[in-house]
Chains A and B, each alone.
Chain A
Amino acid sequence: MTVAPPPAAPPAATPTEAEAWALLLAVEDLGPAAHGALLRAYGSALAVLEAARRPGASARFAGIRSEEGTGRAIGPIVAGRIVRSLGLIDEELEVLRSSAVRIVTVADPAYPARLRAIELPPPVLFVRGSLDGLAAEHVVAVVGTRRPTDRGRAMATQIAAMITAAGGTVVSGLALGIDGASHAAAVHQSGPTVAVLGSGHAELVPRAHDRLAEGIIAAGGAVVSELWPRQPPAKWSFPRRNRLISGLSDATVVVEAGENSGALITARNALEQGRGLFLVPGRIGDPVSAGCLRWLHAYPGEARIVIGLAELVEDLGLVERASVRSRRTRRLPEPASLEAVLLELGPTARRVGTALAAGHGTLDELVATTGFEPATVLGAITLLELRGLVHSTFGRYRPAGALAAAPPARS
């Protein structure tokens, strides 16, 4: 570079090219299309940042034509923001480098090949963990409602366990309900699984899945986001994330989705991206299956019905690898042990969960068993409930989901 930095400014940290890509994305409202146009016009992200330092930059940015040449690629407001964002580069770099987040640009060979094939792939992925799982022969998304029935949760667990057992990788959204059950099933088999966030890494939601996210990384999977690490979750960020879930995968399986479920956005993306779509049917009139049924009815040629695990295995093309196992064990994957089920919880909730698994019912009994204060036990029950591990009816607490299926603790 021939232009010397402004003398008064402190020596600016020099971003790498990958960081420069990411820094551009930190500009509010600068999306993949505008990002691509800038790179085409200047050759590299570093060159864009350099250009932004020169006077009149914002007018030049606003003059860039879109790829088809039909209009402006960048609005004047965003163009102005790019220039203004220069002042914050040091601070933003600091954020980026202090977080344990890796940047993978679309130009990087490590960038997931399936995702590169979609329309407008995200220019940058912020990654924690390993993306190796996405190189597997079969990558399948398993998604569904945040409030599933026990049946739905068990179904998601079985499907994800089967995919993992067959050497495939499960992709989902780390949400409560079906998403969480799918990830957990893969982690339980120590298989890689990829969670796509609807927020930046530093703002991970739901908090209840903090430990699950760590478990995913520990099991060789990855937590991925296309959003700047400090981007809080927003209404728009989840639908946008859903196109990545389907885009990373060969096929998407929807287990329980209500009429307006976000899982159906993933389903739509899967069809638009030319990927497979499988829907698990449910009873007519059951609200948690209304969305699946509607889609089966509306897209008879494209949306495929799941009528059994063995058939799904065949349809997904997992059959050769899975056949050895699936013929015998397709009924139910072995239930997770109690320790595994409670692994991601804190010590308090773990003790309460263990007491519950032994069949203790009321708060009084749980207090007597654990020796905790009633207030503490009540809080722990909520944490268990968030994971679908406990049911409460009329003042009695019963183990549910994986906790009910788990064999008693070995001690």
Chain B
Amino acid sequence: MLATLLSSTLVGLDGRIIRVEVDVAPGLPGFTIVGLADAALQEARERVRGAIRNAGFSHPPRRITVNLAPADLRKAGASLDLAIAIGILLGSEQVTAAPGRIALIGELSLGGEVASVPGILPMTAALARRGIRRLVVARDAVAEAQLVDGIEVVGVGTLREAADAVRRRSRRSTRPLPPRIELASGGPAPDPTGVPAAPAVAVDGIAPDLVEVRGQLEARRALEIALAGSHGLLLVGPPGSGKTLLARTIPTLLPPLGDADALAATVVASAAGEGPISALRREAPVRSPHHTLSYAAMVGGGPRMSPGEVTLADHGVLFLDELPEFGRDVLEALRQPLEDGHVSIARVGRATRFPARVLLVAAMNPCPCGWAGDPSDRCRCPQPVVDRYAGRVSGPLRDRIDLWVSMGRLPPEALIAGREPEASSVVAERVRRARAAQVERQGVLNGRLSGRRLRAICRLDGAAGRQAIALAELEGLTARGTERLLRVSRTIADLEGSPAVRGEHLDEAARFRSFAARLASREAS
């Protein structure tokens, strides 16, 4: 007898609906899965067999054929286990289904327990969009699935409970509601054989408060400007100068995400399998991948088209410690996301596009040994080597970094004396206000402005205009240098709540110009 059920699988950041057809027919006992299933799915046969037996049902000694439609879509992962097992129970008439379309998503253990899978949120949204009104998922995935309106979610712990849920009528007649969640659909189909998405390497634990960062006023100010206007930031300093500590305070300084951005961030977190999700992620993500990560881990891809670090940091901050140690191709790959706010991955026969609106914060040593400029004179690098080290930051990246700042090691007395540092909450409030002012004025943050639009928004009056020319000469009068100066000074003015960009804003912005340009301008006359 034939049983047909619905389930879903994850492709990139999108849920795809899969029709699971199970035919239990007389013949030699056997179990075949057809329809471009990957290795994890082929192994579903063993999990399903064990789960059915250990849940107290019988695995029918007949010829079982499972077809996964659409046939041309490569299916990956274990999200279809539950649907296949229930299909067999229906097909062998051990269970009778109540009328109405029902979908099931879950992985089975040999003991018959149902476990959650990554991507519940986008998969549920896809089902709801298709008009499915009832969904069975693992119990710990219920909260995440319920983020989507218009679909009844039933949580189950075991295969037996799932069978009960299928048998039962819907407890309440859910009126069809438009799904609350609209997910942009990605490119065409992906590949099977999924490795689970990389585990989170978010800046771990509880983020330290800015009040714990003593001194380093210049770097603190640069960080504030960077977050307020979404400007790329590069911190340069010897080991122990506090670059990483400063970067770790970022989560305490960013304003919570708005509805649409929070939803996008939650979908990414869900697809990346970042544990059970019970509410929209309001906090902006901060990712700090290690410098040994691969190209695919940065941009995404792999057999299942999993999102990479740039996508996991969408709407948040991507922190790259020890910038020159990252692979050249890895850094090169950041060009597109930093420019366009998304990343396109093309493989033979398919392509997909992930969102990647990230703010880049990077840190590096001033020279190969790390001690150039330190008063201890520990640095043994020859001057040309030191000069060249800043040049290791590759061109496209250099152009997207608006703020360059040096940090020295603090003398011990500064750690004890010095003025009391500002707390995160104070700075966060300034950042929030400056961001709100930018969004109200131009719809985007200043860091995303360039060309004509930038010039229109950062119109300078006479005196400020002349100052801009004088300062641009310091940068070597390049178009990029001038734009950088304008963008940053606009943000400084926004932090102050000033509608106009004035000379002193430009003066301050000029402090954070690129060392690379400074080196170049020393050579040109």
* Interface-centre pick from B215, B419, B525 (highest chain A CB count, 10 A): B525
Which residues on the B side are within 8 Å of A259 (C-beta)? 525
A283-294 contact mask (Cβ, 8 Å, vs B): 1 or 0: 000011011000
Residues of A within 8 A of B418 (CB): 364, 368
Asked whether A207 lies within 8 Å of B463 as measured between CB atoms, the reply is yes
Q: From DSSP, what is the main secondary structure of chain B's interface residues? A: helix
List residues of B (351-370) whose CB comes within 8 Å of A's CBs. 366
The chain B residue sitting closest to A207, CB to CB, is B466
Check if A396 sits within 8 Å of B470, measured CB to CB.
no
Of A257, A368, A378, the residue contacting B508 (CB under 8 A) is: A378
Contact A147 B508 (CB under 8 A): no
Q: Which residues of B contact A361 (CB under 8 A)?
A: 408
Known: A258-B524, A288-B525, A378-B221. A205 touches B466 (CB 8 A): yes
**Docked-complex contact A363 and B218, CB < 8 angstroms:** yes
Q: Is the CB of A291 within 8 A of B419?
A: no
Contact across chains for A363 and B217 when beta carbons are under 8 A apart: yes
- Complex Cα–Cα for A379 and B471 (A): 11
Verify if B32 is at the interface (C-beta below 8 Å from A): no
Number of interface residues of B (CB under 8 A): 42
Please measure, in the bound complex, the distance between the C-alpha atom of A133 and the C-alpha atom of B471, giving whole angstroms: 32
With A207-B463, A362-B218, A378-B508 given, is the CB distance from A287 to B524 under 8 Å? yes
Q: A125 — which chain B residues lie within 8 A by C-beta?
A: none
The answer to whether B237 and A375 have CB atoms under 8 Å apart is no
- The interface residues of chain A lying within 8 Å CB-to-CB of B471 are 382, 386
**Quick check: is A380 within 8 A (CB to CB) of the other chain?**
yes
The answer on a CB contact under 8 Å between A395 and B372 is no
Q: Given the complex of chains A and B, what is the CA–CA distance between A287 and B524 in angstroms? A: 6
Contacts of B467 in A (CB 8 A): 207-208
Whether B525 contacts A258 by the Cβ 8 Å rule is: yes
CB of B244 within 8 Å of the partner chain: no
A411 within 8 Å of B by Cβ?
A: no
**Chain B residues with CB under 8 A of A376:** 504
Residues in B whose Cβ lies below 8 Å from that of A383 = 507
Contact with B along A380-397 (1 / 0, CB 8 A): 111101100000111110
Tell me which of A233, A367, A378, A393 contacts B419 (CB under 8 A). A367
Q: Is B141 an interface residue (CB 8 A)?
A: no
B484 CB to closest chain A CB, in angstroms? 14
Q: Is the CB of A206 within 8 A of B466?
A: yes
Q: Are A394 and B507 in contact (CB under 8 A)?
A: no
Interface residues of A in 314-371 (CB under 8 A from B): 361-365, 367-368
Evaluate contact between A395 and B508: CB separation under 8 angstroms.
Answer: no
Residue of B with least CB distance to A364: B215
Hey, which chain B residues are within 8 Å of A208, CB to CB?
467, 470
Taking a contact as CB atoms under 8 Å apart, the answer to whether B217 and A394 are in contact is no
Q: A206-B466, A364-B216 are in contact. Are A395 and B525 (CB under 8 A)?
A: no
B516 contacts the other chain (Cβ, under 8 Å)? no
How distant is A368 from chain B, measured CB to nearest CB, in Å?
6
Interface: B511 (CB within 8 A): yes
Q: Shortest distance in angstroms between B24's beta carbon and chain A's nearest beta carbon?
A: 73
Instruction: Report whether B217 and A367 are in contact in the complex, using a CB–CB cutoff of 8 Å.
Output: yes
Q: How far is the CA of A203 from the CA of B469 in the complex (A)?
A: 12
A256 at the interface (CB under 8 A from B): yes
Contact B492 A256 (CB under 8 A): no
Residues of B within 8 A of A381 (CB): 511
State the CA gap A98–B79 with chains docked (Å). 82
Q: What's the Cα separation between A375 and B492 when bound, in Å? A: 9
Tell me if A56 counts as interface (CB < 8 A to partner B): no
CA–CA, A393 to B515, complex, Å? 9
Of B407, B466, B470, B507, which one neighbours A395 at CB under 8 angstroms?
B407
Task: Let me know if B507 and A378 touch, CB within 8 A.
Answer: yes
Q: Do residues A147 and B521 form an inter-chain contact, with CB atoms below 8 A?
A: yes
B43 at the interface (CB under 8 A from A): no
A273 touches B (CB below 8 Å):
no
Q: How far is the CA of A287 from the CA of B407 in the complex (A)?
A: 30
Partner of B525, one of A147, A233, A394: A147
Whole-angstrom CA separation of A382 from B506 in the bound complex: 9
Give a binary string over A395-410; 1 marks a CB under 8 Å from any B CB, 0 the rest.
1100000000000000
Q: Which residue of the partner chain A has the closest CB to B496?
A: A375
Contact A395 B473 (CB under 8 A): no
Cα A233 to Cα B472 in complex, Å, equals: 15
Cα separation A383 to B471 with both chains bound (whole Å): 9
In the complex, B414 has a CB within 8 A of chain A: yes
Residues A396 and B524 in contact in the complex (CB < 8 Å), given A146-B473, A207-B466, A378-B507: no
As a 0/1 sequence over residues 206 to 224 of chain B, the CB contacts with chain A under 8 angstroms (1 = contact) are 0000000001111011000
CB distance A394 to B372 under 8 Å?
Answer: yes
Give, as a whole number of angstroms, the nearest-CB distance from B375 to chain A: 8
Interface flags for A215-255 (1: CB within 8 Å of B; 0: not) read: 00000000000000000010000000000000000000000
Tell me the minimal C-beta distance from B10 to chain A in angstroms. Answer: 46
A206 with B469, Cβ < 8 A, contacts A362-B218, A363-B218 known: yes
Q: Is A374 a contact of B525 with CB atoms below 8 Å?
A: no
Q: Let me know if A176 is at the binding interface, CB within 8 A.
A: yes
User: Does B396 touch A at the CB level, under 8 Å?
Assistant: no
Binary contact readout A194-218 vs B (1 if CB under 8 angstroms, 0 otherwise): 0000000001111110000000000
Q: Does B72 contact A (CB under 8 A)?
A: no
Considering the complex, give the chain A residue whose CB is closest to the CB of B502.
Answer: A379
User: Which B residues lie within 8 Å of A146 (CB)?
Assistant: 473
Given A256-B525, A261-B525, A379-B507, also A205-B217 (CB < 8 A): no
Q: Is B50 an interface residue (CB 8 A)?
A: no
Within the assembled complex, what's the spacing in Å between the Cα atoms of A27 and B470? 28
| Chain B 312-362 residues near chain A, CB threshold 8 A | none
A169: interface (CB < 8 Å)? no
Q: How far is the CA of A382 from the CA of B474 in the complex (A)?
A: 10
Chain A neighbourhood of B522, CB < 8 A: 147
Beyond A362-B218, A363-B217, A392-B406, 5 additional pairs, beta carbon < 8 A: A364-B216, A367-B217, A376-B504, A382-B510, A394-B237
Listed by A's residue number, 14 A-B pairs whose Cβ atoms lie within 8 Å are A147-B473, A206-B466, A208-B467, A208-B470, A258-B524, A287-B523, A287-B524, A364-B215, A368-B418, A368-B419, A374-B217, A382-B508, A394-B237, A396-B406
A residues contacting B by CB (< 8 A) are 145-147, 176, 203-208, 233, 256-261, 287-288, 290-291, 361-365, 367-368, 374-376, 378-383, 385-386, 392-396
Report, nearest first, the 9 A-B pairs whose CB atoms are least far apart.
A258-B525, A394-B373, A395-B406, A379-B507, A206-B470, A382-B507, A207-B466, A363-B218, A395-B408
